[in-house]
Chain A
């Protein structure tokens, strides 16, 4: 038994997604093992954010399916509008977005406990205790009663990550969470994600930050034109890519960074 490979945590098969006539995902196949940290890189419009949004169940699809821990939770229907999404399974996935993630009318603590209390019916006092512990761990112990408008961009994103973690997700999706931040605030958010990585939280990250990609990924996907062009360990995909298109992209990105 021990020699058998671990069952995949996520498997995506034949995933297709179009916006009108525009095909954004052209048949994606992907399996992810528990504890893996996938970083998805690639040019804008290549489909990487769409892939994450589909996996979160935020989009209808034109073909294919997505399975989490053996349970198929997103399946294409006869038409995109008939996409079947299993809401119970979807709840075990957490996601953090690029901007506007916090609810502006709620303070930090209220943002964190809203879903646990309303969705899971958790006791308010218990949820607040968990929230306070999590926020303290992320260096936000003094911001419990602050409102989003009083926080820096980096603090907001750390709160958003803590909020997603409150539901004990089995998989975390990060969609360009540092792209909208001032450069000096990027580090504090990445530190929090690295901290999660150390605890073996399975995650999929879309980022343009190659330093971060190299440091956090256990595997890197290069996604362009709606397909996965290259898939491998970070040293390979970022260091010596096999595919021409990957090499072009990496060269351009690193050139800009110098």
Chain B
């Protein structure tokens, strides 16, 4: 291959890329805020003794787990406005699509951790006179969150990467900026390589942190 690399075309235009990164991070943080809170509520509802409560939640969770994120995003941008006559701005719609997707995956992580809490531990809570809300707040929530942190972090960083999909619906995130820069400079190899490196630079420390937490948890358990 006879190609002369020109990374300067990218380094001269880092500004827009970092603006894009800021949008990507904004999407990630907001989607995680939804995913972490809504996910826990969904997990509790999933374990409800009443079928009427469980059923719609199961549908919600399975919809997001069993369809491609790309389809979900497109559906949110094009179908939701037409069906329900609401459009809340492209970033907000992006946050909702990613946030609901993450909530569905986090709900499963929480549910697994909640179900792993030994029954005697909850019995001890009853024996100590804690009411159901206090048992959730002081026993279930802290234990389940601690146990699910590695999975929640992994899901969170997956959403950071998945957020690149919103570029397709004109949210000006890192991927969108990279695409337009590549078109302007005719340097797709350099531009997308740098974009990939930026995604990597953010994700890698988090995956390392997850590994560390997993090792520590195993060490404590063993």
Binding site for B on A (CB under 8 A): 53, 56-58, 87, 90-91, 93-95, 97-105, 114-115, 118-119, 149, 160, 163-164, 167
Interface size class of B (residues with CB under 8 A): 10 to 19
In whole angstroms, how far apart are the Cα atoms of A102 and B131 in the complex? 17
In whole angstroms, how far apart are the Cα atoms of A103 and B120 in the complex? 10
Of the candidates A57, A103, A149, A164, the one whose C-beta lies within 8 Å of that of B121 is A103
Say yes or no: is B124 at the interface (Cβ < 8 Å to chain A).
yes
Return chain B residues, CB-CB under 8 Å to A97. Answer: 120, 123-124, 127
Say yes or no: is B126 at the interface (Cβ < 8 Å to chain A).
yes
Of the candidates B128, B146, B220, the one whose C-beta lies within 8 Å of that of A163 is B128
A-B contacts besides A58-B127, A119-B128, A119-B130, 20 pairs, CB < 8 Å: A58-B126, A87-B131, A95-B123, A97-B120, A97-B123, A97-B127, A99-B118, A100-B118, A100-B120, A101-B121, A102-B124, A103-B121, A104-B143, A105-B142, A105-B146, A115-B128, A118-B130, A118-B134, A149-B220, A164-B127
Q: Which of B104-149 contact A (CB under 8 A)?
A: 118, 120-121, 123-124, 126-131, 134, 138-139, 142-143, 146
CB distance from B25 to the nearest CB of A (A): 30
Give 17 A-B contacts (CB < 8 Å), ordered by A residue: A53-B123, A56-B123, A58-B123, A90-B129, A93-B127, A95-B123, A95-B124, A99-B118, A101-B120, A105-B143, A105-B146, A114-B128, A119-B129, A119-B134, A163-B128, A164-B127, A167-B129
Of the candidates A53, A91, A101, the one whose C-beta lies within 8 Å of that of B124 is A101
Chain B's interface: helix, strand, loop or mixed, by majority? helix
Return chain A residues, CB-CB under 8 Å to B121. Answer: 100-101, 103
In whole angstroms, how far apart are the Cα atoms of A53 and B118 in the complex? 16
A95 and B127 form a contact (CB under 8 A): yes
Binding site for A on B (CB under 8 A): 118, 120-121, 123-124, 126-131, 134, 138-139, 142-143, 146, 220
CB distance from A121 to the nearest CB of B (A): 12
A56 and B120 form a contact (CB under 8 A): no
Of the candidates A94, A95, A118, A167, the one whose C-beta lies within 8 Å of that of B138 is A118
4 nearest CB pairs, A to B: A115-B128, A100-B118, A95-B127, A91-B129
Return chain A residues, CB-CB under 8 Å to B130. Answer: 114-115, 118-119
CB distance from B154 to the nearest CB of A (A): 21
In whole angstroms, how far apart are the Cα atoms of A95 and B126 in the complex? 10
CB distance from A131 to the nearest CB of B (A): 13
CB distance from B140 to the nearest CB of A (A): 10
A103 and B129 form a contact (CB under 8 A): no
B138 and A56 form a contact (CB under 8 A): no
Return chain A residues, CB-CB under 8 Å to B120. Answer: 97-101
In whole angstroms, how far apart are the Cα atoms of A7 and B134 in the complex? 35
CB distance from A156 to the nearest CB of B (A): 12
